[in-house]
A and B are shown apart, each in its own frame.
Chain A
Amino acid sequence: MISVKNLSKSFGKKLAVDSISFEVKKGEVLGFLGPNGAGKSTTMRMVTGYLPPTGGEVLIDGVNVSEKPISAKKKIGYLPESAPLYSDMTVSSFLAFTGEIRGKGSAEVKDAIETCFLEPVKNQSIDTLSKGYRHRTCLAQSILHDPEILILDEPTDGLDPNQKQEVRNLIKRMGEDKAIIFSTHILEEVEAACTRAIIIDQGRVVADGTPDELKSKSKSAGAIAVSISGMAGSGISSEIKSLPDVSDVIELASSDSSFKGQIIPAKKNNSLSEGVFNICKEKGLLLQELKVEEGRLDDVFRELTVADTIIEEKPNSSQS
């Protein structure tokens, strides 16, 4: 549905997006991750045809956005980053306007108002709305024409936890028969709603995969958290260290009769749990807890995008 090939954008000398390529198929929800200024919004603006790319191309259902912008834009619903709205209009007249441009009538407007829970404010002027309602009004505008492709730039920004949950569920539900790209800072959102995620840093794709694949890239992935009692903590620790393929054992809370800690394997996807279990069986110890860590998305995020944060921090530390 969405095919992005070697997409680049430079503003003057600054390269904001550097040869990004990815594809989103129908039924996929792609999460866009990255630090502020990584090029997420710029990429989305090029996909929606708002910004012309400096290089590369965007195909929407096989239609090149730069060559046939109008027919490409018909297929897209777009929620821009700050959810801009014509504040002099009421919610329903604004939705009627966007619907009319897209050839839709009052039935679709009514549906969109219901889907986005705008019923209580539909006749209210937009400049009197709270941030959550403003955001949902703009979201309603993007789904009103039931587009095949949805581009949502930070759709849960400024919403309260309940509203965030509603929007996530909405995205997940719509993702079943649409191609969706959404950007976010909230990593748990990616796990909750995405079928695939891309991490962008300094205009480049640094990771691309399902949330599980990304998590397995983190350092803690494959580590085993254990809690064992029946012997001195140091003794248990050295027993575990003697197992093959153990790279490190981190003691978190040990006492004379128990051990709690994390075992880091030498190789990923190498299950040590059987070895730990055998130790317990031989020594007659009580295995209270054993859990293989899946890895954490925010670890991966930090590892892949940390370089530029350090550069930013340096001048501050020299000042202080």
Chain B
Amino acid sequence: MYALKNISIVYKRELKAQFNSMLAYVFIVIFVLLSMSLTFLLDDFFAPNAQDASLEFSFFRWPMWLLMFLAPAVGMRLWAEEQRTGTIELLLTMPISVWHAIVGKFLAALSVITIAILCTFPVVITVSFLGDPDNGTIWGGYLACIFYAAGALAITCAVSALTRSSVACLIIALSICFGQLLIAIPPVLEYAADNWGGGVADVLGSLGTWSHYTEMKKGVISLANIIFYLSMIGFSLFLTSVVIKSKRS
């Protein structure tokens, strides 16, 4: 109860801060515009023989690439800004544990991203109107987006705790997310399987985010995928707490 109360106080403040700075609105608008225009302009969504009412191959192809930017952009200030302005000293001398602050901040940033993702709902209305989509696949797609964003955001948290500069955090977190995505794309996995053996390819496939995302967007919500993301989030947030504590000793 006590922990929940503290987390919710930090959460509320951080969410307000995100929207006060106007950046959150900018990120949401850019995300929605880009994901819509990529879907409608680059894909063959309107092709005469397109049969993708469930959006698996059109709309849900893009968010991962966009979220790779959006998550570090929303999360970059979480700890970097606290350290730059010195408010971390205020926060950590209040009667709350570091974990309450970490979780509260993480959830606030995740809410902003979730709002951005959910703002793409008109595309779902469009396909429902035009065709007969498989709702399970659409839900799977949205879950894939949210889980992926949460994982990328957790990595951003850890990087943000390391630095005082939000721009440095953005670049480093983005690179890590990009790298983690690349190690599991099919060409890399094929190369790994051919040259280093199937074992290496399996490890890369299970550590990289690509395979988990593409599986989930098909509507396959397996326990393995959920455990993968939860452990990625848990590990990164744990790393955040280690960095915050070790910086002071």
The 5 closest A-B pairs by CB, nearest first: A84-B86, A73-B95, A74-B95, A88-B20, A84-B87
Q: Which residue of B lies closest to A77 (CB)?
A: B93
Q: Which residues of B contact A (CB under 8 A)?
A: 6, 9, 13, 16-17, 20-21, 85-87, 89-90, 92-97, 245, 248-249
Give 12 pairs: A residue, B residue, CB < 8 Å, sorted on A. A45-B89, A49-B92, A49-B93, A50-B248, A51-B249, A52-B248, A70-B97, A80-B93, A84-B86, A86-B17, A88-B21, A101-B6
Q: Is the CB of B95 within 8 A of A50?
A: no
B9, B21, B93: which has the most chain A beta carbons within 10 Å? B93
Q: Is the CB of B20 within 8 A of A80?
A: no
Residue among B90, B92, B96, B245 with the highest chain A CB neighbour number at 10 A: B90
A80–B13 touching, CB < 8 Å: no
How long is the Cα–Cα vector from A54 to B248 in the complex, in angstroms?
11
* A133 located at the interface, meaning its Cβ lies under 8 Å from any Cβ of chain B in the complex: no
Check B248 against A98 for contact (C-beta < 8 Å).
no
Q: Say whether B6 contacts A50, CB under 8 Å.
A: no
| Contact between chains at B89 and A89 (CB < 8 Å) | no
Residues from chain B with Cβ under 8 Å of A101 in the complex: 6, 9, 94-96
Complex interface: chain B residues within 8 A of A239 (CB): none
A80 to B89, CA, bound (A): 7
- Tell me if B90 and A84 are in contact (CB < 8 A): yes
Assess whether A89 is in contact with B9, with CB atoms less than 8 Å apart. Answer: no
Task: State the CA gap A54–B249 with chains docked (Å).
Answer: 8
Chain B nearest CB from A102 CB (Å) reads 7
Q: Hey, which chain A residues are within 8 Å of B13, CB to CB?
A: 86, 89, 97
C-alpha spacing A264/B105, complex, angstroms: 65
A70 CA to B99 CA, complexed, in Å: 12
Partner of A48, one of B85, B93, B245: B93
The answer, yes or no, to whether A225 is at the interface (CB within 8 Å) is: no
**A residues near B16, Cβ cutoff 8 Å:** 88-89, 93
* A45 CB contacts on chain B under 8 angstroms: 89
Q: How many angstroms between the C-alpha atoms of A57 and B248 in the bound complex?
A: 16
- For window 67-92 of A, CB contacts with B under 8 Å fall at 69-71, 73-74, 76, 78, 80, 82, 84-89
Interface size counted on chain A using CB atoms at 8 A: 30
Is residue A100 within 8 Å, beta carbon to beta carbon, of the partner chain?
yes
Report the Cα distance A76→B92, complex, angstroms.
12
Q: Is the CB of B20 within 8 A of A78?
A: no
Contact B93 A78 (CB under 8 A): yes
Docked complex Cα distance between A30 and B97 (Å): 29
Bound: A48/B91 CA distance, A: 12
Q: Contact at B17–A50, with CB atoms within 8 Å?
A: no
Contacts of B96 in A (CB 8 A): 70, 101
**B13 → chain A closest CB, angstroms:** 5
Q: How far is it, in angstroms, between the C-alpha of A18 and the C-alpha of B21 when the chains are bound?
A: 43
Partner of A102, one of B17, B21, B95: B95
Known A-B contacts A51-B248, A101-B9; A89 and B90 likewise in contact (beta carbons under 8 Å): no
Closest to B245 in A: A52
A141 within 8 A of B: yes
